[in-house]
Amino acid sequence: MAGYFELVDAPDGGYRIRMMDGAGSLMAVSVTFPTKKAAVAGVAQAREIAGTGLIRDGSSDARPAAPGSTPRVIRRPLGGAGRSMSATGGSLAAGKRARARH
């Protein structure tokens, strides 16, 4: 089973998004959104970034970068999980249409 997003109350008011893997383990927690509508828009943005975003290696064991440069970008796919929507022949809107037909 694929993972899922969960809307939860933020401790300081508003809402947060939890990204969970298929086994129900926590993968990430979002910033606080003021409304549920804003949180849902945040999920859409997270899906877009996950499908198309590059990985920037800013970890302590990354190759040293030149002073003032940005962290190294990892461009190779990470197995099946690194594929973008365009690489699979679809888009976010197409994915929504496909799910709506089921």
pLDDT of amino acid 79: 52
Please give the chain's pLDDT, 102 residues, in tens: 689 999 999 999 999 999 999 999 999 999 999 999 999 999 999 999 988 889 888 888 876 666 666 666 776 655 544 443 334 344 444 444 444 444
Residue 60 placed within a domain: yes
pLDDT of amino acid 78: 52
pLDDT of amino acid 73: 73
- CATH code of the domain containing 48: 3.30.160
**What range does the domain containing 63 cover?**
54-96
pLDDT of amino acid 66: 67
Burial 47-69 (b: 16+ CB within 10 A, else e): eeeebeeeeeeeeeeeeeeeeee
One domain for residues 60 and 46: no
One domain for residues 37 and 61: no
**Domains: count for the chain:** 2
